[in-house]
Amino acid sequence: MKVRRIEVLEPQLANKIAAGEVVERPASVVKELVENSLDAGANSVTVEIKEGGAEYIRVTDNGSGITSEDVKTAFLRHATSKLHSVEGLDGIETLGFRGEALASIAAVSKVAMRTHTEEEEAGTLISIEGGSVKEYLPCGCPKGTSIEVRELFYNVPARLKFLKTPRGEAAAVGDYVLRLILGDTNVSFKFINNGKPVYHSAGDGSLENAIICVYGSETAEHIKPVHFDDGYVLIDGYCGDEYLAKSTRVQQSIFVNGRYIRSQQLSFAAQRAYNTRLMVGRFPFLALHIRISPREVDVNVHPNKLTVRFRDEERIASAVYMAVRQALESRATYEAPSENDEAKPEELYGIFHNDRTERAEETENIVPAPETERAPVTFAPAEPEPLFVRDSASSAPAAEVSDVNGVLHYLFPKEEKPEEKTEPIEFDLSPYSIVGVAFDTYIIVEQGESVFVIDQHAAHERIIYEKLIRDELRFESQLLLSSKVVTLSPTEFAVLMDNIERFRELGFEIEEFGASSVSVHAVPTGMKTGSVERLIHDMTAIIKRQGSVKELDLLRSALIRSSCKQAIKGGQMLDKRGIEEILSHYADGSTPLTCPHGRPVMVSFSRRDFEKLFKRIT
């Protein structure tokens, strides 16, 4: 076999290879350019893209600019103004310092940069194609730097097939700009996609205003300020209430010394602070800024800088937990814990060693009503009527709950382990007597030689589910009196628009409304308009997570969640008429004795069971 010589690669080929480490997609190009703008002291940055950024990217800033003599040097590999010694790696405070960024971008695209410093009379233009300088001359331009990147990967066509659709790539860029707005509130960011303004932040130093810019004005009503300072770590920001919780962590932004990061451990720590405030599968809104000595954090764990390593990660996680917990308890600022207030060791242990959040109730978290005397059971006319319930803490008239409360409100059926099989329960049409209701939840009925205990929520949930199934899984549309505008994240918007036909098959009429919003004109029949926004977020989340999902699977999941949401809850008092209506569905044996999740609807005890219990027989 012939021995191959080892040769040093040509600079252009080496730059193309290096580009693979830095330039993965348009969003990574934007990231590199914007970080350079911020490190240049800019307080105004505009990001413009076309066709997802593969065709055109322009990043313009009002930073310090680059001197004419350094312009060419800036495009050389390993050229940087931010690092001058090995020791400097241990205390990096700038966002970007890799010297190969501009060189790598220029190696796989057509780049034009205009830059102007305050000290020089004229600016400088440099044009590079595939790593080769085509133009280098003085030009007129404002102070700062503007870099245009055209035809990304034009000379590496194999890379193009790995890009997503233009809408998908634009979503990635938009998501990055979103984090920028939340990450540096002293900078005004503008994002323009295909000529349409998407975001334009004020740059006034207010994180609350930045949140409103990104998520809309309604969000301000549902966030709580976070502040924690123990001398080692400083945490500021906001956390959201239950209303803002989503089925993914898409609305969680954590920054360390101004750098956006992703950390499961810190996310879990914040989740623990909510305890049972959130339903299982829901994740809180977070916008947290963590300030710590650069010596206590390593930002060089991964080239994309999204992962960092803390010197004392457990202490940081504990601080996040305490900060969020205190915010939820409406304690505006951190106070040094007293002996009685300090978190218990076993409580903090769960932050570091239990990645699973505590399981909340299957139904919505309902604030318990004040205890009152049980209202007497009322009697209903013999003719069948809709099921009625009454709140045990209110003297208000009964409220009808047979209306559909969001047919597609949730799309994730909760995984439940089926109960162990027991002896078959025989509840039939023979006479029975209602003994009462225990804990406003469990109906107690005597029939013959047996006593039945029925979970009113599980029983009603199965009844609703069976009715929906008999409708053959079809959804009709109902027009809204006024269209509902829903603001989405760039990623959610891309997923929705790419799957718009799937939404239409479920009974929605949705059209694009602005750069990152949709207008909903019609919803599935029976669905309350108050559920629209949350539903859209949840549906886009499951489609993004699971990719291609059959419409039938979506429908079944939706039916299960819908029946759960419509069903009466534990703690709601039923009158006799409501109890009899529930029992009528199970008396003929046609309705399964499990809820759609697999939990039992009723259990039975025989006279003999009671006699054994009280030692009347052995």
Residue 411 region, left (φ>0) first, then alpha (ψ -120 to 50), else beta?
alpha
Rounded to an integer, the average pLDDT of 385-406 is 29
Identify the three-state secondary structure at position 320: helix
Q: What is the DSSP letter of 615?
A: T
pLDDT of amino acid 277: 83
Rounded Cα gap, residues 362 and 573, in angstroms? 19
CA dihedral (292, 295, 299, 300) in degrees, to 10, reads: -170
Between 8-17, 127-136, 375-384, the lowest mean confidence (pLDDT) is in 375-384
User: Does the CA dihedral 327-330-332-338 come out positive or negative?
Assistant: negative
Distances (CA, A) of 105 to 14, 52, 64, 337: 12, 16, 21, 51
**b/e burial code for range 195-223 (CB count within 10 A of at least 16 → b):** eeebbebebeeebebbbbbbbeeebeebb
Rounded Cα gap, residues 307 and 265, in angstroms? 11
Q: Is the pTM here over 0.75, yes or no?
A: no
The candidate with the shortest Cα–Cα distance to 398, out of 568, 570, 564, 563, is: 568
Between 40-49, 319-328, 575-584, the lowest mean confidence (pLDDT) is in 575-584
pLDDT grade for 594, boundaries at 50, 70 and 90: confident
Q: Per this entry, what is the length of the chain?
A: 618
Contacts of range 12-16, beta carbons closer than 8 Å, 24 or more positions apart: 12/107, 12/130, 12/131, 12/132, 14/77, 15/77, 15/100, 15/103, 15/104, 15/106, 15/107, 15/131, 16/107, 16/108, 16/131, 16/155, 16/156
User: Does the CA dihedral 50-52-54-57 come out positive or negative?
Assistant: positive
Q: Answer with the residue of higher pLDDT: 220 or 537.
A: 220
pLDDT of amino acid 176: 95
In whole angstroms, what separates CA 310 from the centre of its chain? 25
Residue 95 region, left (φ>0) first, then alpha (ψ -120 to 50), else beta?
alpha
Q: Answer with the residue of higher pLDDT: 70 or 411.
A: 70
Rounded to an integer, the average pLDDT of 564-588 is 79
- Structure token digits, residue 282: 């829901």
Q: Answer with the residue of higher pLDDT: 381 or 479.
A: 479
pLDDT grade for 218, boundaries at 50, 70 and 90: confident
pLDDT of amino acid 233: 95
Q: What is the DSSP letter of 338?
A: -
User: Does the CA dihedral 602-606-612-616 come out positive or negative?
Assistant: positive
The candidate with the shortest Cα–Cα distance to 285, out of 234, 236, 228, 324, is: 324
Rounded to an integer, the average pLDDT of 405-419 is 35
pLDDT grade for 566, boundaries at 50, 70 and 90: low
CA dihedral (146, 187, 325, 296) in degrees, to 10, reads: 70
- The answer to whether 175 and 28 have CB atoms below 8 angstroms apart is no
Rounded Cα gap, residues 135 and 341, in angstroms? 67
The amino acid occupying position 38 is: L
Looking at 364-414, which runs of residues are DSSP E strands? 388-391, 399-400
